[in-house]
Chains A and B, each alone.
Chain A
Amino acid sequence: MSTTDPIVSKPLHVTVNGIEQPVEDIPEQLMMLDYLNEYRNLTGTRFGCGIGVCRACTVIVDHEDGRSEEIRTCITGAHYFEGKSIRTVEGHATRDENGDVAKLSEVQQQFLDHFSFQCSYCAPGFVNAATVLVERLQREPVPRSQLEATISDALESHLCRCTGYVRYFRAVRAAVLATPGTTVEG
């Protein structure tokens, strides 16, 4: 066991769900998941495997050019997100002045309507992955005949132990089809 490497901290600037977070010193070793869970008390982003396989810890990084991407926070250091803007599962729904959910996002509503999850531990990862997919398809629509394959490609790496994926996939298809401009004929 190494006897060196004391904990070194430095300030972290990050925007979460449109809100600039208070700047505080965060250990360099810390994963983003731990930052969200332990420092921001945003526990909707969940620890599943700790090695980036199950994807329950997925968040969305929004780039300045309008693109978004999924990032696994259990294997990505908090300081990788320095200066970045991310969305977590807590940030998708519209909320009223009391912070209560006023309107779910299309993806969330379809998951709800389709009874897509049981325990829901994996749901945050699926919400983020499906949202990234829908937004991508708005920019880059696919032929309708390729939609199921496109969904499969986008969600294949996300693990669910309860529901066997069926209701997630059908819900994402419904969300895509309910979103104008995501598919073209063919």
Chain B
Amino acid sequence: MPQFNQSRRRFLKHSVVAGVSTYVASLASPSFAALFEQDILSPTAQAWRPGTGMKFRLDGIAKVTGSKVFARDIRARDMPHWPDTQAHAFIIRATRCDRRYQGIDLSALEAAGLAPDRVVTAEDMARDNIQVPEYYGPAFFLPAGETPLYLGYPVALCIYHDFARFAVAKARVRAAEDVVVYGEQTPLPEKPPYGAFRYIRVGGDTPYAPDRFSALQETVLYPDFRKRHPVWPQALENGKDSQRAMYHANQLAEQLDMPPDDWLVFEAEYQTPYIDHFAMEADNANCWFDAEAGDMHLVCGSQSPAELVERMAELHSASTFASGRLFLHPTYTVGYGSKDNSIFPYYGLIAGLYGDGHPVRLANDRYEQFQATMKRHPFTIRNRLAVERETGKFQIFKQNLTANGGGRANFSNSVAFVGATAAQGIYYMPNSDLTATAEFSRMPEAGSMRGYGTIQTMAATELMVDEIADHLDMDPFELRLANVFKSGMKNTQGAIPAGHLRGEEILHRARQHEIWTQRAARKQAFEADHPEQRYGVGFACVQKDFGHGAEGVFSEVRLNADGSIEVRNTGAEMGTGYSTSQAAVVAQWLGQPANTVHTAETEWDDLAMTSSGNPYVMSQSEQEAAQTDPRWTPMLQQASSASNSSYYLSFPTIEAARVIFRHGLWPVALEYWQRGIGGGQAAPYVVREQDARWEQGKLTANGMEPLSLAFLAERAHATGRVTGAMAHAFNRWEWSRADYRIDGTSENLPLDGLAVRYGDGASQQKKARMTSKRGFELLTRSNPYFPPTQRNNAGVTYYSACATLVELAVHTGTGEVSLLNHHSFLECGNTIVEELVSGQLQGGLAMGIGHALYEDMPLYEDGPGNGTWNINRYHVPRASEVAVWEQSADILPPLSRTDPPKGIAEVVMIPVVGAIGNGIAHAIGHHFHRLPITPERIREVL
């Protein structure tokens, strides 16, 4: 075993959690070549094209040459200080929920000389006091004598010290039916719902008038449960907010039950599919427990490394294993949500604890991945929508949805709530009553997945709108335009969304597109040429939130004396090009992209920030008391999910770069331009900071001599100006703010934590203040403003819009649907790297096509929990099924160069679902309510 040279490591201590010191490996550490982010990322200079941006992804060369990028690629031998004796592990799972689990029988393995070197079960967990983090619910392993709560519940972990025996044993266990031993029959498991929510809104006389009642103004309803059924408050017109809510709900229900003659009340139930992420890197972790030192080392990909560090330290500390330090090595990965707060890495940690000194690799094969990892929540959605026949104006929208969360809680409440608050799509709903319930079932757990409840509800809304248009004999665009949500209107929670909403603009653009204008002629021609097929055109448009509702983000930007730029940030690279876009966003203020980028950083001790309470549910008084501590924030770090990278995770990076510009570069530029007799070249002109522009990598303003970043950086350093900034930002549907005194100047910034670093030539007085670990001066904020806690009830304020037109053909004999062409419209503010945005759009469309036409599984005994599912029976769309050569898109130009970049990773996959359903209705005259629309379901109709 190679000697581990402590001095060679440059781990950064994260914090002490429950007595365990936690560290995140500096990915720049020379001792971690295998995880060496700078080996993965190409030099920015090669990729940057002044004026137009990035020529290629910074991680592109590493990725296209098969370098070690993923945790899946890492073996013990790649870790310089680890023993190179790589052990391997797999999990045995129970696949029946109708019988008591008795134990496992490995006698056949033992007879074949394939006995595991270590078997880990619930008994080990109990003896060694290894407790599952509360967030995840039931225990890691099912104890003998109990009935599994869900299909695929882990019962044992088998560890092998060599690969060959591991591989053969794993294959045999897969083929065997007698390894898991069951006993007597028991009732199927039942539990109360995970939670329920109800959003009621009664609008004022106009969309812009004050609401009569709304969640933002008054309250969201959270019911009690009796015998697994929600119990809502008593309805009282002048009672408490919750009682008034029910009064309004009853009033709305009465109107829907006894509508005026000129109303159409449309009712339908929609069912959505049970979908696997099919992230191609299946879950895996490689862990080494150094028992002698009490050190746990863990390599894995995660969208939420901060959560891992904290919960793992707590788990380890509470166990009987010696615990001193936890080293986490986050890697680039891919997930679409599946690696956000996943329980899987904890099984990796357990494998490491029982590895007898060997690093243990736990890596799902695809069957295990289908069996065990989070899925998209299947929804049942009951919609009622009242429409005034004459005008097509929507009057009352009532929705009652249930989200099947499976057997282990994971974001199910959140998914249900987000789904409900997105259900209105691009439409203004004057009155609404939205109920969302997240339910337990014996299905393998559902959790975070791209679309996060909104693809379920918004696709249903778009299917519903076209069907209503048919009922009213209205053009579907006319119906949409009659109800489209306009800037300044209020959403179903009573909140006014951020900025200008462009759904109406997209509707007008789409209506003029040739796919729509020529649909009648094309249908006639196509069906004449293909008498066995029916041609259809469908359209759908949505606007989707981005962000979690509570975002905490750290970022650091440093400008070196040679003009090179370094960025550190909390976001994880999930394949979306995050590392590339983080490099690019600083160019707005610094004229060129960052030379180095470090992602998934969790150590931010310099800012000394603390947090307490739950940002989503804390009271206003609790927040006001806490914010008197100038280091307090409602949330330290959020995961990389909910389409939050381009806007939220970039936000403090951009702000930090702005601080360097305003307090470092601009002053020295001005000094240079003003030097000489009579005020120099600046004097004849009026030179203002707002005229500053970076052109071809050089700074100019109102005709001043262009200056390179290297020139300015050298002077900023020489004069001891601000050359580095570390920032924390918090957002609760708006940003927190505070005043800061920066190098003698006061400024109000949308940040709740800030530290700055001065150049090499700073005075001794300034240098004496640069006392933080990384050599920053920690500033103390004043006059802090935090978004009121009531704003949690807004549900959503940030939206981006997307629409898709599809041309398709339905074979009347087979029921198969062929996608002939599609065109999308996307509104995303200013793009950071346009190629990454359009790539997200194209990928999202493919995933949406799968949702609409192909992807689904049985929920229970015949479903993935039984361990027999793989992509031979789960259909992921192929190139021929996405109109790969024909498809096209328009990315709307921003309103101006000052538009923020908007999160679009999820919205892009949604409209194509509704568009396909509506296209099929156009083709064969039937509006489907259940997805996917399979050939079998079409044949039933035909």
Q: Is the CB of B839 within 8 A of A163?
A: yes
Q: Is the CB of B167 within 8 A of A29?
A: yes
CA distance A54 to B276 in the complex (A): 15
Q: Is the CB of A108 within 8 A of B64?
A: yes
Q: Is the CB of A117 within 8 A of B64?
A: yes
Kindly list chain A residues whose C-beta atoms are within 8 Å of the C-beta of B631: none
Q: Is the CB of A167 within 8 A of B109?
A: no
**Residue interface mask B67-111, A partner, CB < 8 A = 1:** 111101111011000000010000000000000000000001101
Given A48-B280, A113-B56, A164-B164 contact (CB < 8 Å): no
Is B308 in contact with chain A by the CB < 8 A criterion? no
From A149, which residue of chain B is reached at the shortest CB distance? B885
Kindly list chain A residues whose C-beta atoms are within 8 Å of the C-beta of B279: 119, 161
Q: Which residues 100-134 of A sit at the B interface, judged by CB distance below 8 A?
A: 101, 104, 108, 111-115, 117-124, 127
Q: Is the CB of A111 within 8 A of B64?
A: yes
Q: Is the CB of A123 within 8 A of B108?
A: no
Kindly list chain B residues whose C-beta atoms are within 8 Å of the C-beta of A44: 65-67, 73
Is A14 in contact with chain B by the CB < 8 A criterion? no
CA distance A30 to B709 in the complex (A): 56
Min CB distance A3 to B, Å, is 4
Is A84 in contact with chain B by the CB < 8 A criterion? no
Q: Which residues 37-59 of B sit at the A interface, judged by CB distance below 8 A?
A: 55-57, 59
Q: Is the CB of A50 within 8 A of B75?
A: no
Kindly list chain B residues whose C-beta atoms are within 8 Å of the C-beta of A2: 108, 112, 172
**Residue interface mask B534-575, A partner, CB < 8 A = 1:** 000000000000000000000000000000000000000011
Is A56 in contact with chain B by the CB < 8 A criterion? yes
Q: Is the CB of B61 within 8 A of A7?
A: no
Q: Is the CB of A47 within 8 A of B885?
A: no
Q: Is the CB of A1 within 8 A of B66?
A: no
Which stretch of B665-673, B840-848, B924-932 is in the interface?
Answer: B840-848
Given A53-B870, A159-B871, A47-B365 contact (CB < 8 Å): yes
CA distance A45 to B73 in the complex (A): 9
Q: Which residues 40-89 of A sit at the B interface, judged by CB distance below 8 A?
A: 41-51, 53-54, 56, 88-89
Work out how many contacts link A and B, with CB atoms closer than 8 A. Answer: 208
Which of A123, A152, A162 is within 8 Å of B64, CB to CB?
A123
Min CB distance A66 to B, Å, is 24
Kindly list chain A residues whose C-beta atoms are within 8 Å of the C-beta of B878: 156-157, 159, 165
Which of B66, B173, B872 is within 8 Å of A90, CB to CB?
B66
Given A44-B65, A118-B575, A161-B847 contact (CB < 8 Å): yes
CA distance A11 to B876 in the complex (A): 38
Is A38 in contact with chain B by the CB < 8 A criterion? yes
Min CB distance A98 to B, Å, is 12
Kindly list chain B residues whose C-beta atoms are within 8 Å of the C-beta of A120: 59, 63-64, 69, 575
Is A27 in contact with chain B by the CB < 8 A criterion? yes
Most buried by B among A1, A43, A104: A1
Is B141 in contact with chain A by the CB < 8 A criterion? no
Kindly list chain B residues whose C-beta atoms are within 8 Å of the C-beta of A114: 835
Q: Is the CB of B56 within 8 A of A51?
A: no
Min CB distance B641 to A, Å, is 15
Q: Number of A residues whose C-beta is below 8 Å from B? A: 65
Q: Is the CB of B72 within 8 A of A46?
A: yes
Q: Is the CB of B78 within 8 A of A41?
A: yes
Is B165 in contact with chain A by the CB < 8 A criterion? yes
From A42, which residue of chain B is reached at the shortest CB distance? B66
Is B219 in contact with chain A by the CB < 8 A criterion? no
Is A92 in contact with chain B by the CB < 8 A criterion? yes
Q: Is the CB of B839 within 8 A of A54?
A: no
Min CB distance B467 to A, Å, is 28
Given A119-B333, A161-B278, A101-B885 contact (CB < 8 Å): no
Q: Which residues 132-169 of A sit at the B interface, judged by CB distance below 8 A?
A: 148, 152, 155-157, 159-169
From B177, which residue of chain A is reached at the shortest CB distance? A1
Min CB distance A147 to B, Å, is 10
Kindly list chain B residues whose C-beta atoms are within 8 Å of the C-beta of A167: 835, 839, 842
Q: Which residues 841-888 of B sit at the A interface, judged by CB distance below 8 A?
A: 842-847, 870-872, 876, 878-880, 882, 884-885, 887
Q: Number of B residues whose C-beta is below 8 Å from A? A: 76
Is A185 in contact with chain B by the CB < 8 A criterion? no
Q: Is the CB of B872 within 8 A of A51?
A: yes
Is A93 in contact with chain B by the CB < 8 A criterion? yes
Q: Which residues 824-843 of B sit at the A interface, judged by CB distance below 8 A?
A: 835-836, 839-840, 842-843
CA distance A44 to B63 in the complex (A): 9
Min CB distance A2 to B, Å, is 7
Min CB distance B104 to A, Å, is 12
Is A5 in contact with chain B by the CB < 8 A criterion? yes
Q: Is the CB of A6 within 8 A of B112?
A: yes
Kindly list chain B residues whose C-beta atoms are within 8 Å of the C-beta of A42: 66
Q: Is the CB of A53 within 8 A of B63?
A: no
CA distance A46 to B281 in the complex (A): 9
Kindly list chain B residues whose C-beta atoms are within 8 Å of the C-beta of A118: 334, 575-577, 839-840, 843
Min CB distance A125 to B, Å, is 10
CA distance A96 to B576 in the complex (A): 30
CA distance A13 to B332 in the complex (A): 34
Given A2-B108, A165-B882, A41-B280 contact (CB < 8 Å): no
CA distance A115 to B168 in the complex (A): 39
Given A38-B163, A56-B280, A162-B334, A121-B70 contact (CB < 8 Å): yes
Q: Is the CB of A119 within 8 A of B575?
A: yes
Min CB distance B10 to A, Å, is 22
Q: Is the CB of A152 within 8 A of B880?
A: yes
Kindly list chain A residues whose C-beta atoms are within 8 Å of the C-beta of B68: 43
Min CB distance A162 to B, Å, is 5
From B55, which residue of chain A is reached at the shortest CB distance? A113
From A115, which residue of chain B is reached at the shortest CB distance? B835
Q: Is the CB of A51 within 8 A of B168?
A: no
Kindly list chain B residues whose C-beta atoms are within 8 Å of the C-beta of A27: 164, 167-168
CA distance A91 to B175 in the complex (A): 36
18 further A-B contacts with Cβ under 8 Å, apart from A117-B63, A121-B280, A164-B884, are A1-B172, A1-B173, A27-B167, A30-B164, A47-B365, A49-B871, A104-B65, A112-B56, A112-B60, A112-B61, A115-B56, A117-B60, A159-B280, A159-B876, A165-B878, A165-B879, A166-B887, A169-B879
A contacts, CB < 8 Å to B = 1-7, 9, 27, 29-30, 34, 38, 41-51, 53-54, 56, 88-90, 92-93, 101, 104, 108, 111-115, 117-124, 127, 148, 152, 155-157, 159-169
Question: What are 23 contact pairs spanning A and B, CB under 8 A?
Answer: A7-B113, A7-B168, A27-B164, A30-B167, A43-B72, A43-B74, A47-B72, A49-B366, A49-B872, A54-B876, A113-B55, A115-B835, A119-B333, A120-B63, A120-B575, A123-B64, A152-B885, A160-B843, A161-B280, A161-B334, A161-B846, A161-B847, A167-B839
9 closest A-B pairs by CB:
A44-B66, A119-B575, A119-B334, A89-B66, A120-B63, A164-B846, A1-B108, A164-B842, A121-B280
